[in-house]
Amino acid sequence: MDITSLISPESVVPSLKATSKKQALQELAKYAATLTGLHERAVFDVLLERERLGSTGVGNGIGIPHGKLPQLTRLYGVFARLDRPIEFEAIDDQPVDLIFLLLAPESAGADHLKALARVSRLLRDKSMCEKLRATSTADGLYALLVASEAQAA
């Protein structure tokens, strides 16, 4: 599962403004709606539903909210760097400032898991996260995320 099959330059948000987890998910749902053609409320609802099962804040300032929607025909990703870290109920109780939203079709069983694993591996790399935090443009962030593919190959 390649990062390049999940995101495009248009799906990278260099400075998401949010003061809470709910607001961040609402803003990300707006971006995802424009990419997928779905209604932003449907995206937001599926993200909230997943968060009720347990936070997708995986630690070290990283959030990987995700969900499945029957209307999708492929996987979509949105990467966001937040203006300021926000409380996200992460497993390490640390605020989150990097979020990779992942949306999948309901039928995407193994592909959804592979995509989650790929994103998780990418964002576990401390030096990658430092570079992402130090980059303030969408093009720069996209280049970093895509460059990780070349290094992994």
Per-residue CA distances from 46 to 28, 85, 90, 117 (Å):
12, 23, 19, 20
pLDDT at 84 over 70: yes
Q: What is the mean pLDDT of residues 51-62?
A: 95
Average pLDDT, the chain: 93
Task: Clarify whether 66 is annotated catalytic.
Answer: yes
DSSP 96: E
Q: What residue type is assigned to position 30 of the chain?
A: K
C-alpha to C-alpha distance for 44 and 148, rounded to whole angstroms: 29
All domains in the chain, ordered by first residue:
3-152 (3.40.930.10)
Beta carbons of 75 and 106 less than 8 angstroms apart:
no
The strand pair at 96-105 and 66-69 is best described as parallel
β-sheet bridge partners, residue 98: 62, 81
Q: Which of 21, 66, 81, 112 does the annotation list as catalytic? A: 66
Q: pTM, whole model, 2 decimals?
A: 0.95
